[in-house]
Amino acid sequence: MPRLTEATKRARRESIVSAAFQCFAEKGLAGTSMADIIEAAGLSAGSIYSHFESKTEIIRLVASEVLGESQEILSEAAGQGRAQPPGDLIMRVFTRFTGRDRARVLLQVWSEVVQDPTLVVHIQDFFARAHDVLYPPLEAWIRQEFGLDGEALADAVRRAFDHTIAATHGCIVRLAIDSLIDPEVFTREIADSLNRMRFA
């Protein structure tokens, strides 16, 4: 049997991860079996296990990719650090973050952290990156709009960052579990509320 090239191996792994992602979105992490992933990928069990030792390994890779993509979305939303209010940042995030499946999988990844300490590193990296990319536009906005400096500025930026992250998480939770909301209307209302934040 001919050996797979590196490009073929990468493509095969990506295909398996994509199939697993859809299974996780439809059935949940716990509800998805390796048999489900094998069937969705259209490959033999031997082929799957030649790339991944277990479902846990697949979950970790899916988690890493979903969080990595989320970091990229935040970086793009930050727009090179130019002044932006928190609501505008959220709207820029959700312009890219579309689809309830992605929200469902990301929500499950967060919950998986308490079960799998290996994922803590990915979560910590995500928050560190979020801090690095969101602080500059928020600080520039607060300095520009409210004329704050020093400790008052630092405290205001921290508050704006915490509210932005909390609101983003809240939007993702609602998108994942509430099929009755209109995502665009809902996120716009949250964004408008954040943009009305005031700092003494």
CATH number at residue 126: 1.10.357
Shared domain check, 37 and 64: no
Higher pLDDT, 7 or 194: 194
Are 44 and 132 in a shared domain? no
For residues 159 and 74, membership in a common domain is answered with yes
179 lies in which domain range? 60-195
Residue 4: the pLDDT is 65
Residue 25 lies in a domain: yes
Residue 172 has pLDDT above 80, yes or no: yes
Residues 155 and 65 placed together within one structural domain of the fold = yes
Q: What is the mean pLDDT of the chain?
A: 91
Residue 187: pLDDT over 50? yes
Per-residue confidence (pLDDT) for residue 1, from 0 to 100: 46
CB-count exposure of residue 89 (10 Å: 0-12, 13-18, 19+): buried
User: Region 64-80: what's the mean pLDDT?
Assistant: 89
Q: Please indicate, yes or no, whether residues 3 and 46 belong to a single structural domain of this protein.
A: yes
The token pair that represents 134 in the structure block: 């969101």
**C-alpha separations of 125 from 47, 82, 130, 193 in Å:** 32, 23, 8, 28
Stretch 71-94: mean pLDDT: 91
Average pLDDT over residues 163-171: 93
Answer yes or no: is 184 within a domain. yes
142 inside domain: yes
HSE value, Cβ hemisphere, 13 Å, CA-based, for 63: 26
Contact of 81 with 43, CB cutoff 8 Å: no
Q: What is the CATH number of the domain that holds 5?
A: 1.10.10.60
Q: What is the pLDDT of residue 116?
A: 86
Could you give the count of Cα atoms lying within 13 Å of 118 in the half-sphere of its Cβ? 10
132 and 183 in a common domain? yes
Q: Does residue 13 fall inside a structural domain?
A: yes
8 and 95 in a single domain? The answer is: no
Domain match, 94 and 187 both: yes
Task: Tell me if 78 is assigned to some domain.
Answer: yes
Statement to judge: residues 100 and 129 lie in one domain: yes
95 lies in the same domain as 8: no
Among 51-55, 88-92, 154-158, 177-181, the range of highest mean pLDDT: 154-158
Distance (Å, rounded) from C-alpha 134 to C-alpha 142? 12
| Sign of the four-CA dihedral 136, 164, 116, 114 | positive
Mean pLDDT over 8-27 rounds to 92
Which pLDDT value is given to residue 163?
Answer: 95
Digit-coded pLDDT (tens) for 19-59:
999 999 999 999 999 999 999 999 999 989 999 999 999 99
Residue type, 25: A
**Among 12, 34, 53, which residue terminates a domain?**
53
| Closest residue by Cα to residue 82 from 154, 146, 151, 134 | 134
Give me the number of domains the chain comprises.
2
pLDDT on residue 139: 96
- Residues 163 and 82 grouped into a single domain: yes
Tell me what the mean pLDDT of segment 127-148 comes to.
95
Q: Is 200 part of a structural domain of the chain?
A: no
**What pLDDT shows up at residue 115?**
82
What's the confidence (pLDDT) of residue 99? Answer: 75
* Angle ∠(83,84,85) on CA atoms, nearest 5: 130
* Statement to judge: residues 101 and 151 lie in one domain: yes
Vertex 40, ends 34 and 43: CA angle to 5°?
80
For the segment 78-85, the average pLDDT, to the nearest whole number, is: 90
Q: Measuring CA to CA, which residue among 3, 160, 133 is closest to residue 71? A: 133
